[in-house]
Amino acid sequence: MALEFTDTNFKTEVLDSDKLSVVDFWAEWCGPCRAIGPVIEELAKEYEGKVKIGKVNVDHNPQISTNYGITSIPAILFIKNGEIVDKLVGAQPKSNFVKKIEALK
């Protein structure tokens, strides 16, 4: 299952991690976000223990969203060693996520 990243655990779970983190910025009212939700869950299962995959609800965690300048959702950031190494914006097919994860992990 995808992790839930929040304003309080983001630093320890994502920024301080030595693993690649895939962070999905989403909201319940966002149709494209709901469309890729199952893809994020599948990836979380497939990469469990290798890559941290989780979600940030932008309505409940405004600080992280502001810090990263998230203006369109879904926005997926790929973060490694505390730095953004890539990003995707908008609904994407699973293959796009897999390509980026395989290239970055």
Query: Catalytic residue positions?
Result: 30, 33
The torsion defined by the Cα of 101, 72, 15 and 57, in degrees rounded to 10, comes to -100
Q: How many CB atoms lie within 10 A of CB 23?
A: 27
